[in-house]
Structure 1
Amino acid sequence: MTIRPNRLVADVLADAPATLRVLLDFHMRCVGCPIAGFHTLADAAREHGVDLDRLLAALHAAAAMPAIGMVPPTAAGARTIERG
């Protein structure tokens, strides 16, 4: 996935959940922020005083990593409920 400066923060988080850790590591309070659906990554970096190029590089690295610990409930041995 290509992460560009004009992408909305909320869209990046939805498309690549691993990027959440990056935003927290950069001390950005975008996670759960109601403005995340309106702010681009460039906006957020400027508001938080974060170097945009460093942020984008870290977001790309996180988005490229395989999701760890995200196992669908049925694959994790959850019981199914039969109705009848």
Structure 2
Amino acid sequence: MTIRPNRLVADVLSDAPATLRVFLDFHMRCVGCPIASFHTLADAAREHDVDLDSFLAALHAAAAAPALGLVPPPVAGEQTLERG
């Protein structure tokens, strides 16, 4: 996925949920913000005084990385393994 500065924050978070960690790491409280549907990544970086190039690079890396440690919820009727 290509992440450009003109993409909306909400769209990036929706399309690549792994990027959530990047927003938090950059101390950006965009997650859950009502303005996220209107602010572009460039807007958010400017508002939070974040270097746009570093931010975009981190977003790209997060979006490209496989989701580790995420386990989908069990499907009804399936058995689950419990750890002891």
TM over 0.5: yes
Partners of 1:24 and 1:72 in 2: CA distance: 23
Deviation >6 Å, runs of 4+: none
Letter in 1 for 2:3: I
Structure 1, residues 41-60: CA drift from partner, whole Å, max 9, x if none?
A: 00000000000000000000
Letter in 2 for 1:5: P
Name structure 2 gaps, 5 residues minimum: 79-84
Name structure 1 gaps, 5 residues minimum: none
Supply the RMSD in Å over aligned alpha carbons.
1.5
Between the aligned residues of both structures, percent identity stands at 82
Q: How many residues are aligned here?
A: 78
* Partner in structure 2 of residue 80 of structure 1: 77
* Partner in structure 2 of residue 64 of structure 1: 64
The structural deviation recorded for 1:69 is 2.8
1:21-40 matches, cutoff 5 A = 21-40=21-40
Partners of 2:39 and 2:32 in 1: CA distance: 12
TM-score (norm 1): 0.85
